[in-house]
Structure 1
Amino acid sequence: MDLRIFTEPQQGATYDTLLTVAKATEDLGFDAFFRSDHYLRMGSVDGLPGPTDAWITLAGLARETKRIRLGTLMTAGTFRLPGVLAIQVAQVDQMSGGRVELGLGAGWFEEEHKAYGIPFPKEKFARLEEQLAIVTGLWATEVGKTFSYEGTHYQLTDSPALPKPAQAKVPVLIGGHGASRTPRLAARYADEFNMPFGSLEDSERQFGRVRAAA
């Protein structure tokens, strides 16, 4: 069994706190350290001293750990342009020696977008599908060749498609409750499917849909 530690730093944690948890994760024999990707606390906590950025955190941990895998659950698709995200994840994967996993979701917490002036589009699922195509396409494209993907938001042509991750294939995680589009995306792009906050019956049903789509 693969046992992993998951943290929610937006509830109140400094980088030093996360570093302590990550080192304990490694020292105690756990397999991975994952964190959420949020910029605003939730609920009644004060969230002090304020948010930390997911990929800046993982870049630091990549140099401070040696064995554990590092990832997000989930990176918000609304926070970063796909070309920029592809560069960030590839660089952190190189910094870690090939230990990164990318959880990518559509983004859902509107209040944090308002708090930091981040656009919150009405149609997020099509954007997520486009991002998955661009990010994985850039990683897979051979050096010297071009990757083009025309969609609602972006058109990438003549890209050098660099840098490349250290891993031949960065594991991609997708999750959600959607009955049709989510299983289809998971079947096409994901190495792992995550089912958040669901009952046993709902989880069994959704995993069944994903298996059928795959």
Structure 2
Amino acid sequence: MELRIFTEPQQGATYDDLLAVALEAERLGFGAFFRSDHYLPMGTDGLPGPTDAWTTLAGLARDTSTIRLGTLMTSATFRHPGVLAVQVAGVDQMSGGRVELGLGAGWFEEEHTAYGIPFPDTRERFDRFAEQLAVVTGLWRTPLGETFTHEGEHYALRDSPALPKPVQQPGPPVLIGGRGKRRTPALAARYADEFNVPFVGLEETREQFGRVRDACESIGRDPESMTWSNALVLCVGSDEAEVERRAAAIGREPAELRENGLAGTPEEVVDRIGTFAALGAQRVYLQVLDLADLDHLRLVAEQVAPHL
């Protein structure tokens, strides 16, 4: 089981805050540092304001050395797929091949309204998402010296030189996630290197992993070629008082976090992760909401990770 750190900077974080967490995660041996891709906070003032996901990942690509970097999830509504392919390939080059692209259809209407970003209905967002996956992966996989063309309903690229090329070939790993019962599994089976189920319990994880496995088999893909993961909020304490303190710091209750996330003593969290592993999960993205609490990461590295 690989543990990765997942942050939500729109809730209130500077680049330096993110860098401090990424560097500590790298030093402690976590598998990756991921961030959300949002422009509006949820339930907080979000001060000092949002940071752009791919701008900050470009900085982290130069300011870190070994840890992998990525998004859960970049919204397909935010960027043209041709531009996104160039951005991610560039950051992959800057990092020496350490980037992963989590891509989703987008869901948070208010942030689109706040920043003047069009927000189509669900069907069109998924149509655009499907085309974006085809365009981004198609550009990366086009051999040097050849051109890429895509004629879709929403995007048209003609005779693109398909440059620059990422370091990783045929391209950075693509992550798809979510709870959708039909289109999400089908797109994951076709395009994803990793499937992620965010913030759900065991039964929904079992069901959604099953849908994606079925979708893989329906197109002749071996489900074992997919990496399977969960994202869960983290609240670990060396004793109950520390669990309660960390829960209060993020405005949550320990009992609720134990039910819906990874909360409790290190022993409890090890057991809880084991239940997801039994369903096939190979990675867990630990949603860290208090970015100033680096001791939280150290506790997990010292008392949870060695037992997985």
Q: TM-score, normalised by structure 1?
A: 0.98
> Would you identify which runs of 4 or more consecutive aligned residues in structure 1 move more than 3 Å?
none
Aligned length: 213
Secondary structure (helix, strand or coil) at the match of 1:148 reads strand
Matched letter for residue 179 of structure 1: K
Corresponding residue for residue 37 of structure 2: 37
Corresponding residue for residue 181 of structure 1: 183
What per-residue deviation string (whole Å, max 9, x for no partner) do you get for residues 35-94 of structure 1? 000000001x11000000000000000001111000000001000000000000000000
Structure of higher RCO (CA pairs closer than 8 Å, 6+ residues apart): 2
Corresponding residue for residue 243 of structure 2: none
Corresponding residue for residue 191 of structure 1: 193
Alignment of 1:11-22 (within 5 A): 11-22=11-22
Asked if 1:147 corresponds to 2:148, the answer is yes
Matched letter for residue 25 of structure 2: T
Deviation at residue 3 of structure 1 after TM alignment: 1.1
Alignment of 1:37-56 (within 5 A): 37-43=37-43, 45-56=44-55
Deviation at residue 212 of structure 1 after TM alignment: 1.3
Corresponding residue for residue 213 of structure 1: 215
Matched letter for residue 153 of structure 2: T
Q: Hey, what's the Cα distance between the residues in 1 that align with 2:148 and 2:129? A: 18
Unaligned runs of 5+ in 1: none
Q: Hey, what's the Cα distance between the residues in 2 that align with 1:6 and 1:206? A: 21
Matched letter for residue 142 of structure 1: P
Q: Hey, what's the Cα distance between the residues in 1 that align with 2:199 and 2:25? A: 24
Matched letter for residue 200 of structure 1: L
Deviation at residue 144 of structure 1 after TM alignment: 2.0
Corresponding residue for residue 136 of structure 2: 135
Asked if 1:167 corresponds to 2:168, the answer is yes
Matched letter for residue 197 of structure 2: M
Matched letter for residue 116 of structure 2: G
Corresponding residue for residue 202 of structure 1: 204
Deviation at residue 153 of structure 1 after TM alignment: 1.2
Q: Hey, what's the Cα distance between the residues in 2 that align with 1:33 and 1:199? A: 23
Q: Hey, what's the Cα distance between the residues in 1 that align with 2:6 and 2:200? A: 17
Matched letter for residue 167 of structure 2: A
Q: Hey, what's the Cα distance between the residues in 2 that align with 1:143 and 1:80? A: 24
**Between structures 1 and 2, the one with greater strand share:** 2
Say what the alpha-carbon RMSD is for the aligned residues: 0.8
Q: Hey, what's the Cα distance between the residues in 2 that align with 1:15 and 1:178? A: 32
